[in-house]
C-alpha cells in the first residue's frame, strides 16, 4: 500500500481511519451522514462534522492517486458543443477530486449572478449573494487565499498601469490563485477525525429509496474487482461533480424509471459550462505598458493575483448580455494552429507592418483623427494585445446530461453530454469586445479590432477556442419551485427528504468565473443546514 491506514474488524463502525474498501471484510456500513464523493465539496462538508458526535462516512470511488481504470468510469459521450475537454476528463476520480489538477482560479460569483435577470431566461437563484457571503469568507481559508477582496484597485499591492476605464461600465477585478490540493491538504485531518471514516474504492452504483422516492435508505457500493457493499445512513449527500451527480440520480431508478428527483424531467437539464475564447479581439495600442496593471500577475501575502476586466451590473443590464470577463495578454501562444491568424497579426506588427490592406488604411485614419496621442499614433509602431474572453453560459433547458446505452466497467449507463452554446454567448462576447474598443478609443490608448469570426452573425465558433467544457454546472439546479429545479435552497432534493446535493450541479447560473470557490461556500452553507437538522 502506498498509504498507511488501519483496518476495521467486524464492527459496523470504525472511526479515525481511511479504509480501502476492497480489502476490508466489512460490507455494510452504518452512519448518520453518508457523503458520496471526496472532492472539494465532499471533503469540505465532511470536515465540518469533525468532533460533532455524528458518524460520517465519506465514500470515494477512487484511491489516493490517479488510476486509469478508475478514471475510465467517468467516460461518456459528447454530442453537443465540443471544445476543450471530453465529458469525463476534468472530473478526477480519486481522493481530492478535481482539485488534484485544477489551475486554482478563485473568485466569488457576483450578486447579479444570483438575481433573476429579465433578459436571461431561467436565471435567478433562490438565495442571494448575501446568503453566501459568510461562507465565502470561510472558503477563503479552505483554499489558502488572501483577504476576501476581489476588486483590483482595492488591493494595495496592485501594479501600476490600469487604464482609467469608465467605472460605471467596466470593473477591474482579480482572481486569487489557489494551489490547494484538497486530497493532500485535508487527508491528515480526515485520518485523525474521530467520527469520520473515509472509504476508498467504494464506488456507489445506486441510491436505494422507498417506493415513493421520498427517502433514501441506503446506497449500493461496488468495487471494480466485484465486491459489493452498502451504506445505511440517516442523511445522504451526493458530491460527485456536475455530471456524475445527475448521472447518479438518473441511474437510481429502482423506484421510478426516471430516477430520483426527476418528476419534472429536470435532472441533467440546464447543463452549463464556461467558454474561453483566446482570440476575441486585438487591441493595437500606443504603449502596452499602460495596461501592465491589468495584464500581469502579482503577489501579495503569499497569494498570487490575476487581474481581469469585468462588466458592471449596469453594463450587463443595458446591453442585456450574459456575464463575461476579459483577460488581456501581450504574447499570443504560438503552438496552436488555429491561432495562425493572431500570430500573423502579431508578427506583422512586430515587423512594423500591417497584416492587411484595410487594417493599414484604418490605422491611417485613426492616426489622422485620434486626439491627444495623434503624434504617437503616427510615429508609433503599435503594440498588440490580445483579449481572451470568458463568458457565462446561458441556462438552456435543452443543454443536458442524459444516459447512453453504452456501459461502464460496472455495467452502468455512461453519461451523454449535449452541451449547447448559442448565439447568445457570441453576442455577449461581441458586445464585450465592442465595449473594450469604445473604452480604449475613448481613452486614446489605441484601437480594437474584433476577430473576424466574431463579426459573423451566426453560431460559428472558431477551432481555437480552448479549455472550455471543464466546469460542469447546473444539472441539479437549485430552485424554490420543484417545477423549476431539482434541489431547494438548502440543496435538498425536492422529492426526497434525506437526500442533499453538494457541488456545482446545484448552481442555477454559471457566471463567468470558475466554480470551485463557490462550491466551497455552498458546501459550507449546506453543512450548517445539516447541522441544524442533526441538532448539532
Partner 1 sequence: MLRRRFLVLLSATPFCISRVFAHPVNDSPYENNHLKQLIESLFTDISSARTVGLKYLAQHPKSASGAIERVQQYVSPVVSGESSDLRERLVKQQKNDFASGDSIIIDGWVFARSEADLCATLVHGHTTVRGNRL
Q: What is the CA radius of gyration of the chain?
A: 25
For partner 1, which is the closer residue by CB, 127 or 362? Answer: 362
For partner 1, which is the closer residue by CB, 38 or 451? Answer: 451
Indicate the SS3 state at residue 180: coil
What end-to-end distance do the CA atoms of the chain give, in Å?
36
Question: In degrees rounded to 5, what are phi and psi of residue 314?
Answer: -60, -40
Cβ atoms 468, 83 nearer than 8 A: yes
- Contacts of residue 8, Cβ cutoff 8 Å, sequence gap at least 6: 14, 17, 19, 24, 25, 26
Question: In degrees rounded to 5, what are phi and psi of residue 312?
Answer: -80, 170
User: What is the dihedral angle through the alpha carbons of 398, 401, 406, 407, rounded to the nearest 10 degrees?
Assistant: -160
For partner 1, which is the closer residue by CB, 360 or 381? Answer: 360
The β-bridge relationship of strands 28-36 and 228-238 is parallel
For partner 1, which is the closer residue by CB, 408 or 439? Answer: 439
What's the closest the beta carbon of residue 440 comes to partner 1, in angstroms? Answer: 8
Residue ranges binding partner 1 (CB under 8 A): 166, 281, 358-362, 364-372, 433-435, 437-439, 441-442, 447-452, 454-455
- Distance from C-alpha of 424 to C-alpha of 320, rounded to nearest angstrom: 10
Query: CA 448 → CA 161, 289, 364, 415, distances in Å?
Result: 18, 16, 14, 42
For partner 1, which is the closer residue by CB, 184 or 364? Answer: 364
- Distance from C-alpha of 284 to C-alpha of 162, rounded to nearest angstrom: 16
For partner 1, which is the closer residue by CB, 99 or 367? Answer: 367
- Distance from C-alpha of 150 to C-alpha of 137, rounded to nearest angstrom: 12
β-partners of residue 329 are 386
What's the closest the beta carbon of residue 169 comes to partner 1, in angstroms? Answer: 9
Residue-by-residue DSSP string for 297-322? -EEETTEEEEEEEEE-HHHHHHHT--
Count the residues in the chain: 536
Indicate the SS3 state at residue 364: helix
Q: Which helix (H) or strand (E) holds 134?
A: helix 129-142
What's the closest the beta carbon of residue 375 comes to partner 1, in angstroms? Answer: 13
What's the closest the beta carbon of residue 373 comes to partner 1, in angstroms? Answer: 11
What's the closest the beta carbon of residue 163 comes to partner 1, in angstroms? Answer: 13
Cβ atoms 207, 252 nearer than 8 A: yes
What's the closest the beta carbon of residue 483 comes to partner 1, in angstroms? Answer: 39
- Distance from C-alpha of 320 to C-alpha of 314, rounded to nearest angstrom: 9
For partner 1, which is the closer residue by CB, 195 or 370? Answer: 370
- Contacts of residue 159, Cβ cutoff 8 Å, sequence gap at least 6: 292, 293, 296, 298
What's the closest the beta carbon of residue 281 comes to partner 1, in angstroms? Answer: 8
For partner 1, which is the closer residue by CB, 106 or 435? Answer: 435
What's the closest the beta carbon of residue 450 comes to partner 1, in angstroms? Answer: 4
For partner 1, which is the closer residue by CB, 1 or 369? Answer: 369
For partner 1, which is the closer residue by CB, 449 or 494? Answer: 449
For partner 1, which is the closer residue by CB, 294 or 451? Answer: 451
How many Cβ atoms are within 10 Å of 288's Cβ, its own excluded? 19
β-partners of residue 277 are 389, 465
Cell matching residue 479: 430552485
What's the closest the beta carbon of residue 382 comes to partner 1, in angstroms? Answer: 13
What's the closest the beta carbon of residue 377 comes to partner 1, in angstroms? Answer: 11
What's the closest the beta carbon of residue 476 comes to partner 1, in angstroms? Answer: 39
Amino acid at each position: 500500500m502506498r498509504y498507511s491506514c488501519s483496518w476495521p474488524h467486524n464492527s459496523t463502525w470504525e472511526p479515525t481511519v481511511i479504509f480501502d474498501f476492497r480489502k476490508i471484510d466489512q460490507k455494510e456500513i452504518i452512519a448518520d451522514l453518508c457523503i458520496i464523493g471526496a472532492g472539494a465539496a465532499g471533503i469540505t462538508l465532511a470536515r465540518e462534522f469533525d468532533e460533532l458526535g455524528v458518524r460520517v462516512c465519506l465514500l470515494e470511488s477512487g484511491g489516493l492517486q490517479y488510476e486509469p481504470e478508475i478514471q475510465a468510469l467517468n467516460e461518456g459521450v459528447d454530442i453537443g458543443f465540443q471544445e476543450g475537454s471530453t465529458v469525463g476528463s476534468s472530473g478526477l476520480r480519486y481522493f481530492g477530486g478535481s482539485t488534484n489538477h485544477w489551475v486554482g482560479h478563485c473568485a466569488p460569483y457576483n450578486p447579479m449572478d444570483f438575481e433573476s435577470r429579465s433578459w436571461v431566461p431561467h436565471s435567478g437563484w433562490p438565495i442571494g449573494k448575501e446568503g453566501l457571503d459568510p461562507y465565502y469568507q470561510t472558503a477563503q481559508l479552505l483554499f489558502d487565499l488572501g483577504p476576501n477582496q476581489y476588486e483590483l484597485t482595492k488591493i494595495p499591492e496592485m501594479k501600476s498601469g490600469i487604464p482609467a476605464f469608465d467605472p460605471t461600465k467596466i470593473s477591474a477585478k482579480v482572481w486569487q490563485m489557489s494551489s490547494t490540493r484538497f486530497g493532500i491538504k485535508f487527508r491528515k485531518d480526515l485520518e485523525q477525525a474521530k467520527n469520520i471514516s473515509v472509504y476508498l474504492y467504494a464506488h456507489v452504483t445506486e441510491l436505494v429509496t422507498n417506493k415513493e422516492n421520498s427517502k433514501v435508505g441506503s446506497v449500493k457500493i461496488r468495487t471494480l474487482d466485484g465486491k459489493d457493499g452498502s451504506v445505511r445512513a440517516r442523511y445522504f449527500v451526493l458530491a460527485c461533480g456536475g455530471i456524475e451527480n445527475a448521472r447518479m440520480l438518473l441511474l437510481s431508478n429502482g423506484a421510478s424509471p426516471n430516477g430520483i428527483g426527476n418528476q419534472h424531467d429536470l435532472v441533467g437539464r440546464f447543463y452549463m459550462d464556461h467558454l474561453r475564447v483566446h482570440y476575441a479581439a486585438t487591441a493595437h495600442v500606443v504603449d502596452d505598458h499602460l495596461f501592465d496593471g491589468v495584464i500581469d500577475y502579482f503577489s501579495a501575502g503569499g497569494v498570487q493575483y490575476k487581474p481581469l476586466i469585468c462588466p458592471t451590473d449596469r453594463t450587463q443590464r443595458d446591453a442585456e448580455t450574459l456575464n463575461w470577463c476579459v483577460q488581456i495578454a501581450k504574447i499570443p501562444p504560438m503552438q496552436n494552429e488555429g491561432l495562425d491568424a493572431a500570430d500573423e497579426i502579431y508578427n506583422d506588427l512586430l515587423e512594423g507592418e500591417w497584416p492587411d490592406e484595410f487594417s493599414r488604411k484604418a490605422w491611417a485614419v485613426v492616426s489622422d483623427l485620434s486626439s491627444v496621442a495623434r503624434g504617437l499614433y503616427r510615429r508609433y509602431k503599435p503594440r498588440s494585445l490580445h483579449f481572451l474572453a470568458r463568458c457565462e453560459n446561458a441556462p438552456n433547458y435543452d443543454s443536458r446530461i442524459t444516459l447512453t446505452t453504452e456501459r461502464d466497467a460496472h455495467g452502468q449507463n455512461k453519461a451523454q453530454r449535449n452541451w449547447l452554446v448559442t448565439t447568445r454567448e457570441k453576442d455577449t462576447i461581441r458586445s464585450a469586445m465592442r465595449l473594450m474598443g469604445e473604452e480604449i478609443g475613448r481613452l486614446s490608448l489605441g484601437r480594437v479590432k474584433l476577430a473576424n469570426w466574431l463579426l459573423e452573425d451566426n453560431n460559428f465558433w472558431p477551432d481555437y477556442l480552448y479549455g472550455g467544457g471543464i466546469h460542469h454546472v447546473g444539472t441539479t439546479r437549485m430552485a424554490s419551485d420543484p417545477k423549476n429545479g431539482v434541489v431547494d435552497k438548502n440543496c435538498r432534493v425536492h422529492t426526497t427528504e434525506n437526500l442533499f446535493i453538494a457541488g456545482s450541479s446545484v448552481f442555477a447560473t454559471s457566471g463567468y468565473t470558475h466554480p470551485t470557490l463557490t462550491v466551497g461556500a455552498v458546501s459550507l452553507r449546506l453543512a450548517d443546514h445539516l447541522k441544524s437538522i442533526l441538532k448539532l
